[in-house]
Amino acid sequence: MFGLIPLLFTALASAYPNRGPCTGDCWAHDPAMIQRVSDGKYYRFSTGTGVSIHSSPSVKGPWTDLGSALPDGSKITLDGVDSKNIWAPDVHYQNDQYYMYYVLSQIGTQNSQIGVATSKTMDPGSWTDHGSVGLPANDNYNRIDPAWISIGGKNYMNFGSFWGDIFQVQMDTPLQVGGATPYQISWNATLNHREEGSYEFKHGDYYYLLYSAGIAGKYTKTFPAEGAEYHIRVCRSKTGLGDFVDADGKSCKETGGTMLLASHGQVFGPGGPGVVNDKDLGVVMYYHYYPLATKQSTDVSDNANYRYAWNVLGWKDGWPFVKAT
Ligand SMILES: *[C@@H]1O[C@H](CO)[C@@H](O)[C@H](O)[C@H]1NC(C)=O
């Protein structure tokens, strides 16, 4: 009978390994991470005044707060929106410089715009704002949460939140969308169509689409109900251009999407994922979460309470899983 006890403990253990360690400034919200080409330093960008920049010699830290990318705000003007209140950055390297896509939006509305800035170093003071990428407004999507990917030498931007969930559009140049028509690549048909914060990357023979599903924020004692909060799902595609399916073969445009990471331990509402290839760790997924103890002790959900986390991804049958570090 005592032999049952270890089994019970095993059964009660979390389905997910704990997040990797972080030292220094571990605040992040909607993080975007990239290694600087010149010196291999990691840069982390977050939703915050003018876009917050942190840097570190490794994904583990120690992370240092460097300041803002666009301290004077974006040149985009949007009714009722402070141009310094910039969300959901996405940064990539191309043509000897860094491109940062970003968002201005009035929360919960389609009054949103995606902008772009460039820099040679990513440091505060080095960013040039180019304003809007020229993505046309449409009732079917919300112009937030941009995520760039290169496919077959062409630039694409994935974006979107709620309404029609995740869309993709080909870009004429990394600065401008041009005339291409955006199309839907992922959609949950049920209830509130809660998918956003997507990120696409190539690994082996497939393109993988990560996104956040569920309720973002409002993380207080009483809301949201357990399981309804943010979690990270994954779909994959051979072309990267919209034929995404989940691990059961279900189309991700028809409510498909395989669970990759949900709340566990102190990691409540993991979301806003992205991926870096680390030379020592391999494929690392980074994301933000809200500490469970903070949620349980507060009536006010605060942007300052979000935290940065990461895990190494393992692979099985062409699908990623979160691996113990
Ligand atoms: C779709 O949304 C419903 C309702 O929010 C949720 O229960 C379900 O898990 C979602 N499915 C996927 C694949 O995200």
Q: Where are the domains of the chain?
A: 31-322
**pLDDT at 4 (0 to 100):** 46
Catalytic residue among 30, 90, 145, 229: 30
Average pLDDT over residues 151-164: 97
Q: Is 196 a catalytic residue?
A: yes
Q: Is 229 a catalytic residue?
A: no
Burial of 127 (0-12, 13-18, 19+ CB in 10 A): buried
pLDDT higher than threshold 60 for residue 2: no
Amino acid in position 195 = E
Residue 251, φ and ψ in degrees, nearest 5: -65, 135
**pLDDT at 301 (0 to 100):** 87
Parallel, antiparallel, or unpaired for β 258-261 and 267-278? unpaired
Digit-coded pLDDT (tens) for 223-256? 998 899 999 999 999 999 999 999 999 999 999 9
**pLDDT at 173 (0 to 100):** 98
Task: Give the nearest ligand 1 atom to 213 CA.
Answer: 14
Under a CB-based contact definition with an 8 Å cutoff, are residues 230 and 260 in contact?
no
pLDDT higher than threshold 60 for residue 11: no
Digit-coded pLDDT (tens) for 279-300? 999 999 999 999 999 999 999 9
Comparing 8 with 174, the larger pLDDT belongs to 174
Nearest CA to ligand 1 atom 11: 255
Instruction: For residue 11, report the distance from its CA to the centre of ligand 1, in Å.
Output: 25
Residue 301, φ and ψ in degrees, nearest 5: -85, 120
Digit-coded pLDDT (tens) for 40-78? 999 999 999 999 999 999 999 999 999 999 999 999 999
Average pLDDT over residues 253-269: 97
Digit-coded pLDDT (tens) for 67-119? 999 999 999 999 999 999 999 999 999 999 999 999 999 999 999 999 999 99
**pLDDT at 9 (0 to 100):** 45
Instruction: For residue 161, report the distance from its CA to the centre of ligand 1, in Å.
Output: 14
How far is 185 from 200, CA to CA, in rounded Å?
A: 11
Catalytic residue among 90, 145, 196, 200: 196
Under a CB-based contact definition with an 8 Å cutoff, are residues 72 and 84 in contact?
yes
Q: Is the dihedral of CA 320, 322, 323, 325 positive or negative?
A: positive
Largest CA-CA distance found in the chain, in angstroms, rounded? 70
| CATH of range 31-322; options 2.115.10.20, 3.60.150.10, 3.40.30.10, 2.40.160.40 | 2.115.10.20
What are the tokens at 319?
């699908």
Instruction: For residue 312, report the distance from its CA to the centre of ligand 1, in Å.
Output: 25
Q: How confident is the model at residue 158 (pLDDT cuts 50, 70, 90)?
A: very high
CB atoms within 10 A of CB 238: 11
| Residue 61: C-alpha distances to residues 154, 180, 203 (Å) | 34, 40, 25
